[in-house]
Chain A
Amino acid sequence: MKKLVVIGAGMASGRVLEHLFERDPDAFEVTLFNAEPRGNYNRIMLSPVLSGEKSYEEIVIHDDAWYAQHNVTCRFGEKVAAIDCARKVVIGENGEVPYDKLIIATGSAPFIIPVDGHDLPGVITYRDLEDTNAMIETAGKPGASAVVIGGGLLGLEAAAGLRLRGMDVTVVHLAGHLMERQLDESAGYLLRKDFERRGIDVLTSASTKAIVGNGRVEGIELQDGTTIRADLVVMAVGIRPAAQLAREAGIEVGRAIVVDAQMATSDKDVFAVGECVEFQGALFGLVAPLYDQAAVLAENLLGGEASFVPKELATKLKVTGVDLYSAGDFNQGDDREEIVLRDATAGVYRRLVLEDNRIVGAVLYGETADGPWFFDMIKSGADISDMRDTVIFGQAYQGGEPLDPMAAVAALPDEAEICGCNGVCKGKIVNVINDKGLTALDDVRAHTKASSSCGTCTGLVEQLMVLTLGDKYNPAAVQPMCGCTDLGHDDVRRLIVAKELKSIDAVMQELEWKTSCGCAKCRPALNYYLVCDWPDEYADDYQSRFINERVHANVQKDGTYSVVPRMWGGVTSSTELRAIADVVDKFDIPTVKCTGGQRIDMLGIKKEDLPAVWADLGKAGFVSGHAYAKGLRTVKTCVGTDWCRFGTQDSTGLGVRLEKFMWGSWTPAKVKLAVSGCPRNCAEATCKDVGVVCVDSGFEIHFAGAAGLEIKGTEVLCQVRTEDEALEYIVALTQMYREQARYLERIYKWAKRIGYDEVRRQIVDDPERRKAYFDRFVFSQKFAQVDPWSERVSGKDKHEFKPMATLSLEAAE
Chain B
Amino acid sequence: MNVQVQDWVKVGTLADIPRRGARCVRNGEMTIAIFRTANDKVFALEDKCPHRQGPLSQGIVHDGCVTCPLHNWVISLETGEAQGADEGSTATFPVKLDGDAVLLAIGIR
Contact = CB atoms under 8 A, between A and B. Distances in A.
Nearest to B108: A812
B21 A557 contact: no
Interface in B4-40: 9, 11-12, 16-21, 23-28, 31, 34, 38
Contacts of A542: 18
A799 B38 CA distance: 18
A760 B59 CA distance: 39
A551 B22 CA distance: 13
A804 interface: yes
A519 B72 CA distance: 11
A551 B31 CA distance: 19
Interface stretch (A41-49, A210-218, A510-518, A676-684): A510-518
A610 to B, nearest CB: 12
A807 B63 contact: no
Contacts of A559: 53-55, 58
A785 interface: no
Nearest to A556: B70
A143 B62 CA distance: 56
A557 B52 contact: yes
B108 A809 contact: yes
Interface string B70-109: 1010100000000000000000000000000010001011
B45 interface: no
Contacts of A518: 62-63
B86 to A, nearest CB: 14
A524 interface: yes
B11 A807 contact: yes
Bin chain A's interface residue count.
20 to 34
B60 A524 contact: yes
A806 interface: yes
Contact of B18 (A519, A543, A557): A543
Nearest to B32: A807
Nearest to B18: A543
Interface in A522-542: 523-524, 542
Contact of A799 (B9, B16, B27, B109): B16
Most buried by B among A520, A542, A550: A520
B26 A803 contact: yes
A115 interface: no
A520 B27 contact: no
Contact of B74 (A520, A524, A807): A520
A805 B63 contact: no
Given A555-B58, A804-B11, A812-B109, A519 B27 contact: no
A519 B55 CA distance: 18
A75 B19 CA distance: 73
Given A543-B60, A547-B58, A805 B38 contact: no
A544 interface: yes
A555 B69 contact: yes
Contact of A546 (B19, B60, B74): B60
Contacts of A806: 25-27
Given A543-B20, A805-B12, A812-B108, A519 B67 contact: yes
A542 B74 CA distance: 19
Contacts of A550: 58
**From B11, B18, B58, B102, residue with most partner A Cβ within 10 Å:** B58
Nearest to B22: A804
B37 to A, nearest CB: 8
Nearest to B23: A804
Given A520-B67, A559-B55, A809-B108, A803 B60 contact: no
Nearest to A524: B60
A805 B60 contact: no
A809 B60 contact: no
B74 to A, nearest CB: 7
A547 B17 CA distance: 15
A551 B9 CA distance: 28
Given A547-B69, A557-B70, A559-B55, A807 B27 contact: yes
A635 B49 CA distance: 36
Contacts of A799: 16-18, 23
Contact of A523 (B17, B54, B62): B62
B23 A543 contact: no
A688 B102 CA distance: 49
Contact of A543 (B9, B19, B27, B108): B19
A517 B62 contact: yes
Contacts of A804: 11-12, 16-17, 23-25, 34, 102
A807 B25 contact: yes
Contacts of B17: 799, 804
Contacts of A551: 58
Contacts of A544: 20, 60
Interface in A409-467: none
A523 B60 contact: yes
Contacts of B102: 804
B71 to A, nearest CB: 10
A578 to B, nearest CB: 32
Contacts of B12: 804-805
A805 B26 contact: yes
A804 B72 CA distance: 25
B62 A520 contact: yes
A808 to B, nearest CB: 8
A184 B93 CA distance: 81
Contact of B55 (A548, A555, A807): A555
Contact of A520 (B28, B59, B106): B59
B53 to A, nearest CB: 8
B43 to A, nearest CB: 14
A696 B55 CA distance: 52
Contacts of A543: 18-21, 60-61
Contact of A805 (B11, B18, B58): B11
A543 B22 CA distance: 10
Contacts of B25: 803-807
B9 to A, nearest CB: 6
Nearest to A560: B55
Contacts of B20: 517, 543-544
Nearest to B54: A559
A555 B60 contact: no
Contacts of B18: 542-543, 799
B52 to A, nearest CB: 7
Nearest to A812: B108
A555 B26 contact: no
Contacts of A547: 58-59, 69
B9 A807 contact: yes
A785 B59 CA distance: 26
A517 B77 CA distance: 15
A523 B27 CA distance: 32
Nearest to B67: A520
A517 B27 contact: no
Contacts of B59: 520, 547
Given A515-B63, A543-B60, A812-B108, A555 B70 contact: yes
A517 B58 contact: no
Contacts of A546: 60, 69
A543 B9 CA distance: 27
A559 to B, nearest CB: 4
Contacts of A555: 55, 58, 69-70
Contacts of A805: 11-12, 25-26
Nearest to A555: B69
B20 to A, nearest CB: 4
Contacts of B106: 807, 809
10 contacts: A519-B62, A520-B74, A523-B60, A524-B60, A543-B18, A550-B58, A555-B58, A803-B26, A804-B23, A807-B9
Given A520-B62, A543-B21, A804-B17, 17 more contacts: A515-B62, A516-B38, A516-B63, A518-B63, A520-B67, A523-B62, A524-B60, A543-B18, A543-B61, A547-B69, A550-B58, A555-B55, A803-B26, A804-B23, A804-B34, A806-B27, A812-B109
Q: Which 10 A-B pairs have the closest CB atoms?
A: A520-B67, A804-B23, A547-B58, A805-B11, A806-B26, A547-B69, A520-B60, A543-B20, A804-B12, A559-B55
